[in-house]
A and B are shown apart, each in its own frame.
Chain A
Amino acid sequence: MLTMTTLRAFTCDDLFKFNNINLDPLTETYGIPFYLQYLAHWPEYFIVAEAPGGELMGYIMGKAEGSVAREEWHGHVTALSVAPEFRRLGLAAKLMEMLEEISERKGGFFVDLFVRVSNQVAVNMYKQLGYSVYRTVIEYYSASNGEPDEDAYDMRKALSRDTEKKSIIPLPHPVRPEDIE
């Protein structure tokens, strides 16, 4: 990895500077409440990488959720994005590693994320980082402008607490968005 970055907590002021990352077509810009919710609830899971020149390079936003009793307590990647000019440096992998480490500390059983089935670049990257497809969620991404809705892969990676890696055994059938928690 060759990120060479300052990794630090994401703050509200970063919302004014993240255009180089968020103008990417696959990166969603959410409403303010969405970011504030994450900052209020899981501030440690919202990390931004800054280049020596002060530009924002990328960020990861996540949360911890699920029932401990049912061994579903886990870290979730809500958003991960790297600005085009800072790609191919291993930054996404570094940010994922940090999120996994935080989830380990919280005693999570696994880390999961959703990705567009068509986003082959991302799917492959996650596979390289040790993630596998746990299930397909049908029409998870609602499309605008008349195009069909798109399916998502729910990808998972087991953490050390899940010694038998039970959490990542793939489901035989796809599920509908309303069936996921």
Chain B
Amino acid sequence: MAARGHVQDPNDRRLRPIYDYLDNGNNKMAIQQADKLLKKHKDLHCAKVLKAIGMQRTGKQDEAFNLAQEVATLEPTDDNSLQALTILYREMHRPELVTKLYEAAVRKVPLSEEYHSHLFMAYARVGDYKKMQQAGMALYKIVPKNPYYFWSVMSLVMQAISAQDEKLAQTMFLPLAERMVEKMVKEEKIEAEAEVQLYFMILERLGKCVEALNMVRGPLGEKLTSELQSRENKCMMMYQRLQLWPECNALSYKLLLKNPDDWQFYLSYFDSLFHLMDMSWSPSEEGQHCVEGHVTTTVAEAVKFVVDRMAEEDKKDSRPLRGPYMACLELIHRLRQRGCPDDKELGDPLELMVQFFGKFGDKPCCITDLKIYLHLLPPEQHTQFRNRLEELVPLGEAGEDGFRFPGDTKALQRHLCVCQLSRALGLQHALDTEGKLSLIAQLKAHYHHGLRFRKSCLKTELQFSDMYCLMAAHVYIDLWTENGDENMLWQCLGLLEEGLSFSPSNAQFKLLLLLLFCRLGAFQPVVDLYSSLDAKHVQHDTIGYLLTRYAGSLGQFAAASQSCNFSLRFFHSNQKDTSEYIIQAYKYGAFEKIPEFIAFRTRLNQSLHFAQVRTERMLLDLYTEADITLSLEESVKAMGVCAEEEDIPWDNMRDNRDLTVLVSWDPKDRELTEEHRRLSLEEESVWLKVRSLTLRLLASLALLGHAPSPRNSDKTNENGVTTKSSTLQNLLSQLDQTLQTAARITEKQTKYPFLGPPSSRLASALSSGSCHCQASALRLSLTLQELETAGLDDSSELQSQICNTFKSIVVQLQEMLSRCKGEVLEMKDRRLKTQPSLLETLVFFLETVCVVLWVASYSANVLRPLKSSLQKKKKKKKDTCTAMPVVLCGFQEWTSGLQGVVTQALDHVKAQEAQLTTLKLAALTLEEGDQQTQEECGFTRVAMDKVQSSYLGSLQELGDLLRKRADSLKSLKI
């Protein structure tokens, strides 16, 4: 709460203890103290508001609100009340009320700079740009300070940016903003750099690039000093937009002479050169080039420029710059693209790359640099290239094992780089199994040898040779995915565990281990690995998918719910956080950041992962809690799920996942492409749609159950029910459509690079049969509703239809369960074999059981009154011979059928648990010798143990939940 300095006002003194209580979190005492004060001083409004804050913080939202409104309607103008109400409304997430408050305050005290300024900020919090524009101007009229004037201008720009109608932006808001600034320019009232920045922003958005350029070059531009090279960068931007290629070229040239390492200017230099050549540009007859100076017009000249830069680097005693050498390769690449034969003059790419390696091979980024230009080498040169590089790697004499090792870290880095380049050239992939195994042996030997180079023993430092270990792991994965040899995977896990033991901070080891454990269906070790990555805040959005994709699908519900919570907490704080900094950006005149912050907020709000965790979290709650601790209806209500509406931005979904977070040296044709990204997003979106529809269907099922029986209800209720069932109907047909789309997508069987995005749960959900079984169960609730209206008499057709669905659902569940049968982990021929998909299918089975049981519970609710009215009739008629209606018998059969399936499932889980517990991995003789040393076997065992215990954990959680569900079956008697 606001620091309260000089205590002169007696009211301040009286209020002080309440502030203190509130600050210390002692809300109860704050309320008491406020009451005491209010008894003596009825008109001390602020005390009321402070009391309201105390109430708000103790969960009495409604009372707090009413109390606050008592004060607000009086339209207070004292600082204390205004500030306290502002705090209260903010905590209530009602920023729009703050605007009302200060609107009243400035009406009463029209000359207060402070209140006007608060009003401006209040509008900023709700994003009312038009009102901001007016408030800024009103402020300026009271106190003619420049910032206020420009707040108003910026608010016009924001109206332009947020306008639906681009025409309105271009013809009204922006020109008005421009005129406002021009007026200040004419009156020579421009003071701050921020004002010039804003002017530039306006001109740029208006497309008035010439004017912008003149402004930057002119006296106003002299104010652009904070950012380095601000004027040059802005000029360059405008030259490019205006396609002033001579100027663009000459400026790039100048800037490169100054700093021959600034990559962006090589790009603009080459771009502009080719544009100039295409338009056959030549300098004027007087030899005049352009305002920026000399223009390069021929390839020969550009070649000379680059060659000169390289020569200059070669001359230097200090470390040479990479820029010119890379620029040379870039120019060859571009000349080839244009089919221009002049590239020969720059030299042979192979020679140039060998030369580059000679100079920079000992830098870890050498691979990243050269990878971009490997396509300049024809395939037949690949091996030759590698051999040439190998000649440049100083290695010692061959030892017993035939390997030659580097003598220092620079040599190590060079050798590593050659390995990385061979992988990037596809040479490793071309090896046969034996070749790959001996490559692994070589990489491991280099890894172990390199461990000696680390001087310090800090946990935070990486080993110089870590990347050998990672690469060996990649080759293991190649072998596993190509041959399906699971042994390769176990050895890979062991190797990475070993790597982590020497380099406990290596994020890449952790990420790969995490991915492999997930693929193996073992989620438990993943929790620790992820938490040791210390991923926080925005990283929950970018790499949180690694966790949330698998947690729930592997039956680790507690962990799943926790990982969703991490992410949700982050997303929910975003909205509040960003508004605060939008206001700060106004205050500090960082105008260009304002649209950026807003775009950022939108990007987070539209995040795919946000929508996923939101949906999954609620589904998880339902699956694990509803009808166990709370009824489905109560659960749905508590979560605020709305069947009719949804808040997922289907058309603007943003994929913020960092899909290249795992290091890869794979050749281009195996790398993640834009198409992969598109397909992955599509797949995830469709799966999300399925989940979100399921959630909403469950919500509307809960509402159906809530509806009183239409027989003894009046007309409005009947209407209510019709709306509810039409919602259900509508959602069901959406689900059908989505499942059709889903089937089309899974037919494509998109394979992503191993280190890229995991495939969604869509395919396994469809093949498990869960989607269709859930859909038919949910559809059944509609038919039951028809029966409810029709009654038991004259509805035999409907009844037999219902009974058929009863039976079919049991059959479908049986089939699903049979797909879960098998050993999730077993020893075969002294080898360990996993079938993690069985776990995933079991989870789908369990989810489906939940849905079916909720529908069953709804059925029971419908049938119960029907049955009892029938019994009443029977009693009256004393007619004992009337047969029981088909649907009632069918229901009883159904529940016992369901009971049967659930019992079977429980038996299956129990058997699996028992089998896993008795499985003694220690009995497994891992083959030592040429493949793995005893120590390595130890690490592999560690990994195996983790997988075993994780499977066990999943089975236990699944078993527990099944048991709870089985209990709820008992309440289905009618």
Contact = CB atoms under 8 A, between A and B. Distances in A.
Interface residues of B, number: 63
A30 B590 contact: no
B590 A25 contact: no
B658 A32 contact: no
Interface string B591-613: 01100110110010000000000
Contacts of B264: 6, 8
Most interface-central of B539, B587, B603, B656 (chain A CB within 10 A) = B539
A52 B263 contact: yes
Interface stretch (A40-48, A159-167, A168-176): A40-48
A107 B758 CA distance: 52
A12 B658 contact: no
A7 B592 CA distance: 18
Given A2-B261, A6-B263, A12-B600, A29 B364 contact: no
Interface in B617-664: 656, 658, 661
A141 B156 CA distance: 45
A38 B547 CA distance: 30
Contacts of B321: 1-4
A33 B580 contact: yes
Interface stretch (A66-74, A87-95, A125-133): A87-95
B535 A29 contact: yes
Contacts of B593: 39-40, 43
Given A6-B262, A118-B458, A86 B581 contact: no
A34 B897 CA distance: 58
A32 B656 contact: no
A28 B554 CA distance: 31
A44 B592 CA distance: 12
Contact of A85 (B263, B368, B541, B600): B368
Interface string B323-338: 1001000100000000
Contact of B364 (A24, A84, A98): A84
Interface string B292-327: 000000000000000000000000000111110010
Given A2-B321, A120-B456, A19 B658 contact: yes
Interface stretch (B221-229, B442-450, B953-961): B221-229
A79 interface: no
Given A33-B580, A39-B581, A2 B360 contact: yes
B819 to A, nearest CB: 37
Given A32-B574, A43-B593, A15 B507 contact: no
B172 interface: no
Interface in A10-60: 11-13, 15-17, 19-20, 22-26, 29-33, 36-37, 39-41, 43-44, 51-53, 55, 57
Given A2-B261, A105-B226, A16 B363 contact: no
Contacts of A53: 368, 371-372
Given A3-B322, A33-B577, A84-B462, 9 more contacts: A12-B600, A12-B603, A19-B658, A23-B535, A23-B661, A31-B537, A33-B581, A52-B369, A86-B364
27 contacts: A3-B261, A5-B262, A7-B262, A8-B264, A16-B541, A23-B507, A23-B535, A24-B505, A25-B460, A25-B507, A25-B534, A29-B537, A31-B577, A33-B581, A36-B578, A36-B597, A40-B581, A43-B593, A51-B368, A52-B263, A52-B326, A52-B369, A55-B368, A57-B365, A86-B368, A105-B225, A106-B226
Interface of A: 1-9, 11-13, 15-17, 19-20, 22-26, 29-33, 36-37, 39-41, 43-44, 51-53, 55, 57, 84-90, 98, 101-102, 105-106, 118, 120
